[in-house]
Amino acid sequence: MQELPEEINGTPAQDPSGPSLLPLAACPRRRPDVIARLVDGETVVLDRQAGLIHQLNQTASYIWARCDGQSTITVIAHDLAQEFAIEPTVAARDVRVLVEQLQALQLLQ
């Protein structure tokens, strides 16, 4: 089972201080064929197409739930900052990094 966002496929997560190409106005959307279940505050994502199971921690689960194709990165980051009492710039960076990881895993459309 893979854990996000700290590590993907045994390689360290992208350097969050590096530049991001993902625009803040992007509205990430989960793939409709991916199955996700909340278990003890963490989301387990089954990607049958790739034959992989991913485990998202509480923060990643919060972001994943908001990848509905309607919420922008900015809105998700604002909500994350409010919910977890973190700095807005940290929230924005974390959301962008996770969304980019989810895109790399082809879990988003």
Residue at 76 is within a domain? yes
DSSP string, 1-47: -EEETTEETTEEPP-TTS---S-TT---BB-TT-EEEEETTEEEEEE
CB 70 within 8 A of CB 25: no
Q: Is residue 17 part of a domain?
A: no
Q: Is residue 92 included in any domain, yes or no?
A: yes
Is 11 part of any domain?
A: no
- Is the pTM higher than 0.85? The answer reads no
pLDDT of 2 > 90? The answer is no
Looking at per-residue pLDDT, the higher value among 9 and 22 belongs to: 22
Number of domains into which the chain is organized: 1
Residue 13 falls inside a structural domain: no
CATH code (residue 93): 1.10.10
The pLDDT of residue 41: 82
SS3 109: coil
Residues forming a β-bridge with 33:
none
Over residues 77-98, mean pLDDT = 96
Which domain does 64 fall in, by range?
A: 2-6+28-104
Lowest mean pLDDT among 15-29, 34-48, 87-101: 15-29
Residue 57 resides in a domain: yes
d(C-alpha 13, C-alpha 38), whole Å:
23
Does any domain span residue 40?
yes
Flag whether pLDDT at 67 surpasses 90. yes
| DSSP bridge partners of 46 | 35, 53
Q: Is residue 15 part of a domain?
A: no
Q: Which residues contact 32 (CB under 8 A, 6 or more apart)?
A: 109
> Which pLDDT belongs to residue 22?
81
11, 58, 95, 109 from 91: Cα distances, Å: 22, 14, 6, 22
